[in-house]
Amino acid sequence: MSQSTTSEAQLARETWRVSRKRRSTLTAIVSTLVFAVVAWLLLVNTPGWSRVQTSFFDWDTAVKAFPRVLDGLWLNLRVLVFASISVLIVALLLALATTLRNPALTPIRLLAKGYIDLFRGTPLIITLYLVGFGIPGLRIEAFGRIAPEILGTIALTLTYSAYVAEVFRAGIESIHPSQRLAARSLGLSYSQSVRLVVLPQAVRKVVPPLMNDFVALQKDVGLISVLGAVDAVRGAQIEVAHFANFTPYIVAGLFFVILAIPTVRLTDWLAARMAKREQMGTVL
């Protein structure tokens, strides 16, 4: 009798939770639609909407500008791939250098920290100018003419490796020292304990912030256009000058948004998954 009563009460609670969740979802959908409609009506009834619509949301201009902007986006994607790989390698080396404890390696640790402080404090646009115009200004014949996208990749790597290095360092220092001591007691060397015990755990802990930096990098690859690279942004700029219309900028912006949305959703999913596992007390 008691079990039957308990089961019925539990069933009633579950039914109530489901109905409440459905009601909350429906309320959220309705409120969002109402807000969107009100915002749209306010926008289209502003005095200058017709002019803004013609200048920024012209469909014919968007169709004509689409091929050039898309062609430039492929350059952004290539730069993103090479920059991401370079950033991960350089940042990991910097993070390991900043966590060295041997007094004899103090110069390396100080040099790594100085690098991180320098490029974390320098705006990316200035780094792009310094690298993009400074390296060619050295007139080193062995290098020849360096393509703007290569210079842009170098600048992105210099800046983002400083940010990501701090993420890696935080992950490494979050691992309890007992983990490293236990590895050393089992006969592993310092490098083996770091490579086989510390780094795998540290990387799992910092995946969400790493993904956030990757999202930021996806957007900032568009800044290589300041060096003359014909990427999506520069392609849009050329089309804007050709059509005397700002719609190509909207096309380029939409491309970057579409590129970022899957990564953003993946980042949110990973963060929620790891938070849930930590609350459950399971191994990440």
Domains of the chain, by residue range, sit at 1-45, 57-280
Would you call 141 helix, strand, or coil by DSSP? Answer: coil
Q: Taking the mean position of all CA atoms in its chain, how far away is CA 22?
A: 33
Residue from 272, 161, 245 nearest 210 by CA: 161
88-125 tens-digit pLDDT: 999 999 998 988 877 887 889 899 999 999 999 999 99
- Report the pLDDT value the prediction gives residue 211, as an integer from 0 to 100: 84
Among the four given CATH numbers 3.40.50.10490, 3.40.50.300, 3.90.550.10, 1.10.3720.10, the one describing domain 57-280: 1.10.3720.10
Across 114-141, average pLDDT: 89
Q: CA-CA distance, 120 to 163, in Å (whole number)?
A: 6
- Report the pLDDT value the prediction gives residue 164, as an integer from 0 to 100: 93
Across 224-247, average pLDDT: 90
Tokens of 173: 């220092």
Across 49-56, average pLDDT: 86
Other beta carbons within 10 angstroms of residue 113's beta carbon come to 15
Residue from 64, 104, 87 nearest 243 by CA: 64
- Report the pLDDT value the prediction gives residue 1, as an integer from 0 to 100: 45
Across 234-238, average pLDDT: 92
- Does the structure show a pLDDT above 50 at 283? no
Contact 119, 127 (CB under 8 A): yes
240-279 tens-digit pLDDT: 999 999 999 999 999 998 888 888 788 778 777 776 766 6
- Report the pLDDT value the prediction gives residue 249, as an integer from 0 to 100: 92
Helix ranges (DSSP H) in 45-137: 49-56, 59-98, 106-121, 124-137
Tokens of 187: 């006969």
